[in-house]
Chains A and B, each alone.
Chain A
Amino acid sequence: MIKNRDTRLTVWLLLPVALVLVAYVLYPSLRTFIESLQKDGMISLGNYQDFFVQESKTNLEALWNSVYISLLSVLVSALIGIPLAFIFNRYDFPGRSFFSSAAILPIVLPSLVGVMAFMFLYGESGLVPNAIKDLFGLDKVPFKIGGVSGILIVHAYTMYVYFYMTVSAAINKIDPSLEEAAYNLGANKFKVFWKVTFPLLTPAIVAASLLVFMISMASFSAPFFLAGGYRVLSLQIYFSKINGDMEIAATQSVILSIVSISFLLFMRWYQNRKDYRMASKGIGAHRSEVKNPFMKWVMVVTGIIGVIILLLPHFTILLLSLVPDGTWTFQTYPTVFNVENYRLLFEDPNIFKPLRNSLLMAVIATLANLVFGVIASYVLVKRKFVGKSLVDILVMIPWALPATVIGMNLIFAFNEPSVFSFGQILVGTFWILPLAYFIRHIPLVVRSTNAVLEQLDDSIEEAARNLGAKWFYTFRRVIFPIIMPGVLSGTLLAFIESVGNSRPRSCCTRFQTGPYPLKS
């Protein structure tokens, strides 16, 4: 009787989750794949043949450039993030706590305006090169960013944080007695690092590497604004769409999806390949105090310079926002400052409406993410059913797919009436963007809720049920309050991303319904 009741509950919970995943993750991807097989009104592999053997080789070049930039981004981000994680977690010096908090500053910089800030800071007419030129009386600016190096600098600035955060967490979990045992057995510092510490950090480094690789593969704003002529696959998709070559755009989207999903599957395989658990006694990492006064000062001064560099893009955005329209054109430095831009943002209906649209779309998508994420996570963690791995992979796919690809998938799926869009054409309407944000952020809420639900003992739910509480009452009064921090952390991040992300917008919107960044 109880087993039947439980099975029925699992089916009722699984049904909406599976329906949403099939309708808005699987179906749009399949529609793109089918579109990529269309050539001159026939079904063939002609588009793929063109992609790989085309005389101009533009697509292959773009694919190679994407992989090349992504590998370099991983390398540069790792070279910054890993040493920083060691310095802040293994050594103690004045201001350490402040500097370690400041190290995550780049993550609060929205991608589009972030790239803009870099152009105004370090571009040919940028504030920093011009300030150096004026200071030293040079004839021309000593440096400027742009092209591949520009993309790499922006990627390194925004992505080293992933290495820093994941490696910091891993360092703090290492039981110091393991390293002490190795030292006592006569190993030197290098051997202890190579044989004990590094293997324990491997899962964190691999996870961060793949995360950075996938984000770089999907990168749009940096190549678009900093290196106009440099071909990467995410930009090629956008240009194909703009030129009306939808079949080519579909083929490029499928190939980019295959590369990204392959990396997601590789990450899952690699993390499950070895067991990196420690028989820890629960002792946290200890920090050694820097005693040499000279080294102490070197670290403090380096920390202050680092914080200034990290804060410069944020200050540049603030500065730009205070410069009225048309007053900073050919001048080296801005001369007029006021709050006119903010006033217009809230007072001019033509400017305020897109801003309101942005926030409204983000709120709708986030509420949907909250409801779906909690149900999906509960089903995945606490219920047993056939095909769980498939549901798990479908939940994770939107995280692996570049936002440009998600935008293209939605165009192919919902540019004509379908049963999943309730017989409506969604492309060009208000609803396509909340849908895009919802799909994109499914994994964020599910993953953060999973983390808390996995630690929740089943006996808590059983106790409430044995005392006569119905499932929904148990869920509402017992489970939800316990898992709330995990749910909220994912939901808040989904909201932030929905407000800040501009890529699905550039693919799916019409001017009339567009949110803010497309209007400026």
Chain B
Amino acid sequence: MNQLRMFNMGQAAAYGMIQITLIVIVLFISNKFFGIKAEKAL
């Protein structure tokens, strides 16, 4: 586990945060403009 921290996990996490943000934006747009509920879209 501590060995895992030696790798650059921060950048992977930053990429993960961008992924999560993208998913949330896409769900928000689909709900706001096309009336698609998150449950249906997913």
Chain A residues within 8 Å of B, Cβ to Cβ: 101, 104, 107-110, 112-114, 116-117, 119-120, 123-126, 161, 165, 168-169, 314, 317-326, 328-330, 340-342, 344-345, 351, 355, 484-485, 488-489, 492-493, 495-496, 499-500, 516-517, 520
**Which residue on chain B has the smallest CB distance to residue A101?**
B38
Chain B proximity of A344: nearest CB distance (Å)? 6
Instruction: Please judge, given known A-B contacts A488-B30, A492-B30, whether A321 and B40 are in contact too, CB under 8 Å.
Output: no
Chain A proximity of B23: nearest CB distance (Å)? 5
Do the beta carbons of B39 and A165 come within 8 Å of each other? yes
Q: List 12 A-B contacts (CB under 8 A).
A: A104-B38, A113-B16, A114-B16, A161-B42, A317-B13, A325-B8, A341-B10, A485-B36, A492-B26, A492-B36, A493-B41, A520-B8
Q: Name A's interface SS.
A: helix
Q: For residue B42, which residues in chain A have a CB less than 8 angstroms away from its CB?
A: 104, 107, 161, 165, 493
Do the beta carbons of B19 and A320 come within 8 Å of each other? no
Do the beta carbons of A113 and B13 come within 8 Å of each other? yes
Q: For residue A318, which residues in chain B have a CB less than 8 angstroms away from its CB?
A: 13, 17
Do the beta carbons of A325 and B13 come within 8 Å of each other? no
Do the beta carbons of A341 and B30 come within 8 Å of each other? no
Q: How distant is the Cα of A321 from the Cα of B39 in the complex, in angstroms?
A: 28
Q: For residue B24, which residues in chain A have a CB less than 8 angstroms away from its CB?
A: 108
Q: For residue A317, which residues in chain B have a CB less than 8 angstroms away from its CB?
A: 13, 16-17, 20
Chain B proximity of A145: nearest CB distance (Å)? 11
Instruction: Please judge, given known A-B contacts A110-B16, A317-B20, A492-B41, whether A323 and B10 are in contact too, CB under 8 Å.
Output: yes
Do the beta carbons of B30 and A489 come within 8 Å of each other? yes
Do the beta carbons of A329 and B2 come within 8 Å of each other? yes
Q: For residue A341, which residues in chain B have a CB less than 8 angstroms away from its CB?
A: 10-11, 13-14
Q: For residue A165, which residues in chain B have a CB less than 8 angstroms away from its CB?
A: 39, 42
Do the beta carbons of B12 and A489 come within 8 Å of each other? no
Q: Name B's interface SS.
A: helix
- Shortest 9 CB-CB distances between A and B: which pairs? A113-B16, A320-B13, A321-B13, A520-B12, A125-B1, A341-B14, A321-B14, A341-B10, A489-B41
* Contacting residue for A324 out of B10, B16, B18, CB 8 A: B10
**B interface bracket (residues with beta carbon within 8 Å of A):** 20 to 34
Q: For residue A489, which residues in chain B have a CB less than 8 angstroms away from its CB?
A: 30, 34, 36, 40-41
Q: How distant is the Cα of A112 from the Cα of B14 in the complex, in angstroms?
A: 13
Q: For residue B10, which residues in chain A have a CB less than 8 angstroms away from its CB?
A: 320-325, 340-341
Chain A proximity of B3: nearest CB distance (Å)? 9
Chain B residues within 8 Å of A, Cβ to Cβ: 1-2, 4-20, 22-24, 26-27, 30, 34-36, 38-42
Q: How distant is the Cα of A314 from the Cα of B38 in the complex, in angstroms?
A: 18
Do the beta carbons of A351 and B2 come within 8 Å of each other? no
Do the beta carbons of A110 and B36 come within 8 Å of each other? no
* Contacting residue for A320 out of B2, B9, B18, B22, CB 8 A: B9
Given A321-B16, A355-B15, A488-B36, 7 more pairs with CB closer than 8 A: A108-B27, A113-B13, A113-B19, A317-B17, A345-B18, A489-B41, A520-B9
Do the beta carbons of A104 and B39 come within 8 Å of each other? yes
Q: How distant is the Cα of A340 from the Cα of B24 in the complex, in angstroms?
A: 23
Chain B proximity of A454: nearest CB distance (Å)? 15
Do the beta carbons of B30 and A496 come within 8 Å of each other? no
Do the beta carbons of B19 and A485 come within 8 Å of each other? no
Q: How distant is the Cα of A496 from the Cα of B11 in the complex, in angstroms?
A: 19
**Which residue on chain A has the smallest CB distance to residue B1?**
A125
Do the beta carbons of A351 and B11 come within 8 Å of each other? yes
Q: How distant is the Cα of A500 from the Cα of B16 in the complex, in angstroms?
A: 8
Do the beta carbons of B1 and A520 come within 8 Å of each other? no
Q: How distant is the Cα of A124 from the Cα of B5 in the complex, in angstroms?
A: 12
- Name, among B15, B22, B36, the residue most crowded by chain A CB atoms within 10 Å (CB to CB): B15
Do the beta carbons of A119 and B20 come within 8 Å of each other? no
Q: For residue B14, which residues in chain A have a CB less than 8 angstroms away from its CB?
A: 321, 341-342, 345
Q: How distant is the Cα of A322 from the Cα of B11 in the complex, in angstroms?
A: 9
Do the beta carbons of A516 and B15 come within 8 Å of each other? yes
Chain B proximity of A64: nearest CB distance (Å)? 28
Do the beta carbons of B22 and A499 come within 8 Å of each other? yes
Q: How distant is the Cα of A355 from the Cα of B20 in the complex, in angstroms?
A: 14
Do the beta carbons of B15 and A108 come within 8 Å of each other? no
- Name, among A101, A161, A496, the residue most crowded by chain B CB atoms within 10 Å (CB to CB): A496
Q: For residue A314, which residues in chain B have a CB less than 8 angstroms away from its CB?
A: 20
Q: For residue B12, which residues in chain A have a CB less than 8 angstroms away from its CB?
A: 112-113, 116, 320, 517, 520
**Which residue on chain B has the smallest CB distance to residue A225?**
B4
Q: How distant is the Cα of A120 from the Cα of B16 in the complex, in angstroms?
A: 14
- Name, among B5, B16, B26, B36, the residue most crowded by chain A CB atoms within 10 Å (CB to CB): B16
Q: For residue B7, which residues in chain A have a CB less than 8 angstroms away from its CB?
A: 520
Instruction: Please judge, given known A-B contacts A169-B39, A325-B10, whether A113 and B15 are in contact too, CB under 8 Å.
Output: yes
Q: For residue B9, which residues in chain A have a CB less than 8 angstroms away from its CB?
A: 116, 120, 320, 520
Do the beta carbons of B36 and A520 come within 8 Å of each other? no
Instruction: Please judge, given known A-B contacts A125-B1, A165-B39, whether A344 and B11 are in contact too, CB under 8 Å.
Output: yes
Do the beta carbons of A168 and B39 come within 8 Å of each other? yes
Q: For residue A345, which residues in chain B have a CB less than 8 angstroms away from its CB?
A: 11, 14-15, 18
Q: How distant is the Cα of A495 from the Cα of B6 in the complex, in angstroms?
A: 32
